[in-house]
Amino acid sequence: MKKSNLLTSIRIFTVLILVLLPLFGSDCQNVINQLDPSTVAIQGNWTLIYNAGTLRDICPGESVSFPSNSDGTATLTCPEQTPITRSYTVSGTTLKYTASGVEYTVDMPQSDQLVLTGINNTRVLYYSTTITDKNNHTNTTSDKNSINYNSSEITK
């Protein structure tokens, strides 16, 4: 093969890579997230099974649906209440509800367990994807007249 043909082939190959890179680039973050052990996979439907920490103000049995592992609009539903939606982002192991600024460190001890530990609040929330009895909540607040908030809100 002549030297000029080789250089032409290298140039064409380089141009093809540069043209195709943006087409495949959007999937790169997904590949990186799968390889990075510090990235959490919160996508799915979760139900609150236990509310720990010093701030126990989240409605018992809250369900949360995260459509993506990185960002999107979560749907949060307290039992017998109208669902609400909240924008969120996930960076590494930090979940942030963007409108309220509520932040949690995310831990997943098992694939069906999600633990949110408050960064700018004193909540520790335990969620599961498998609930056997949704009507049996042992994490109710001690004051029966207290208001139950949603995990995406900061209380004052």
47-76 mean pLDDT: 91
Out of 38-47, 79-88, 117-126, pick the least confident.
38-47
Domains plus CATH for the chain? Answer: 44-128 (2.40.128)
**How many CA atoms lie less than 13 Å away from 94 in the CB half-sphere?**
8
55-81 mean pLDDT: 92
134-140 mean pLDDT: 44
77-102 mean pLDDT: 94
107-112 mean pLDDT: 92
Find out whether 124 and 118 touch, Cβ atoms under 8 Å.
yes
> pLDDT at position 155, please?
62
pTM for this prediction: 0.65
Percent of the chain whose pLDDT exceeds 70:
72
pLDDT band with cut points at 50, 70 and 90 for residue 38: low
Q: Read off the DSSP letter of residue 11.
A: H
Q: Which residue has the higher pLDDT, 126 or 4?
A: 126
